Amino acid sequence: MSMDIRTRLSAQRIETPSWAYGNSGTRFKVFAQPGVPRDPYEKLADAAQVHRFTGVAPSVALHIPWDRVGDYADLARHAGELGVSIGAINANVFQDDDYKLGSVTNPDPRVRAKALAHLLECVDIMDATGSGTLKLWFADGTNYPGQDDIRARQDRLAEALASVYQRLGEGQRFLLEYKLFEPAFYATDVPDWGTAYAHCLRLGPKAQVVVDTGHHAPGTNIEFIVAFLLREGKLGGFDFNSRFYADDDLMVGSADPFQLFRIMYEVVAGGGYTDEVAFMLDQCHNLEPKITGQIRSVMNVQEATAKALLVDGAALRSAQAGGDVLQANAVLMDAFNTDVRPLLADLRRESGLDPDPMAAYARSGYFETISATRVGGAQAGWGA
């Protein structure tokens, strides 16, 4: 293994989102967990633990309005003191009663204006926190055929995106997220990568597509999309998570680790293993503890990345060029079948970290502390 792989692995950055530390659930029930943060400051403290033990999670995505504070510069300063920084700003325009029939695609112009104002406020927060990335996911869509005009909603979407694009400053971009369904159950306004891509293409280089690994139709080849978007210069980043069925939001790498490896391989092969492509987690730890769930997920991404970097490119290209189907596949599988955990443990030791982040966190007593002290107040929650 070349030193280069070790260097590249050590340089990886994986962003965790503030909402992962709050309660989450399904429409059937949100099960509360002990020690859950009550405000954005406590969320950042938890995220800092993930970075403390993994060494590769130095930024935290915010979600507005869940993370609204009076003084964003103060929040950013607080993050800095904890050893982390503010990452992407996520705009939430789906939980206000006004958004029942959509936000930026709502048939009512008043609601559209309100939603747009919220998006622009998020750019203000980027300015205040130094964040360079606005993440746009719209719950907009319809539940019944005929409910609204599919094309008119695209026109409204295009108009809102153009306004946001205009507002972006130097070094700022937005990432447009697509999702097949949920909460809209008939037609979602940005249902697939093609829709997100077409809108971003019209707007320019500051608009890119973000791939949430749980947002596709069954059978979709996600790594193809990754390779294609990289070829087009339009891959902005990932929202990582796992799914067996729909947008299950399980821990990344827990449902199909081979798929995660293939995705990371295309990232590496397509020149996307740079700071330009953001690796973000976007998961719901409905049953498992939050901080350990995030640590495990970060490690899963690291393991998939390590395997992707281990692929013998020369051998692969040679087998591909020769049309040797089995050998080309074998080169890829050889990397996947390698146990990279010792390598990653070694790299952690080298960086002064514990080789086993899960065990080290467990020993730290942090969970016991927050469980004991975070009583009273309202636990942060995701969802309705």
Whole-angstrom Cα distance, residue 88 to residue 130? 10
Is residue 274 a contact residue for a copy of itself (CB under 8 A)? no
Is residue 145 a contact residue for a copy of itself (CB under 8 A)? yes
Separation in Å, CA 181 to CA 139, 142, 217, 253, 347: 9, 10, 9, 22, 40
Site string for a copy of itself, 19-58 (x = CB under 8 A): -----xxxxxxxxx--------------------------
Candidates 286, 343, 348, 370: give the one binding a copy of itself (CB under 8 A).
286
Stretch that binds a copy of itself, among 4-12, 46-54, 185-193, 369-377 (CB under 8 A): 185-193
140 sits near a copy of itself (criterion: CB under 8 A)? no
Nearer to a copy of itself, 113 or 224 (CB): 224
The verdict on 228 binding a copy of itself (CB under 8 A) reads yes
Judged by CB under 8 A, does residue 7 bind a copy of itself?
no
**CA nearest to 48, candidates 8, 9, 15:** 15
What number of CA atoms fall less than 13 Å from residue 374's CA on the CB side?
Answer: 24
User: Contacts with a copy of itself in 234-273 (CB under 8 A)?
Assistant: 243-246, 248, 250-251, 254-259, 262, 266, 269-270
Determine if 194 is a binding residue for a copy of itself (CB under 8 A). yes
Question: Is position 276 an interface residue for a copy of itself (rule: CB under 8 A)?
Answer: no
Q: Exactly one of 116, 136, 203, 230 binds a copy of itself (CB under 8 A); which one?
A: 230
Enumerate the H helices of the chain as residue ranges. Answer: 3-10, 40-54, 72-81, 109-129, 150-167, 193-203, 222-231, 257-269, 290-310, 313-321, 325-337, 341-350, 357-364, 366-373
Q: From residue 41, give the alpha-carbon distance in Å to each of 69, 81, 164, 171.
A: 9, 11, 28, 26
Q: Is residue 139 close enough to count as binding a copy of itself by CB under 8 A?
A: yes
Cα 322 to Cα 311, 319, 325, 326, 336, distances in angstroms: 18, 5, 9, 11, 22
Give the one residue of 224, 346, 365, 375 binding a copy of itself; rule: CB under 8 A: 224
What is the C-alpha end-to-end distance of the chain, expressed in Å? 48
User: Which of 5, 41, 69, 101 is the binder for a copy of itself (CB under 8 A)?
Assistant: 101
Looking from the CA of 189 toward its CB, the CA atoms found within 13 Å total 29
364 binds a copy of itself (CB under 8 A): no
Compute the least distance from the CB of residue 377 to a copy of itself, in Å: 19
327-346: which residues touch a copy of itself (CB under 8 A)? Answer: 328-333, 336-339, 341
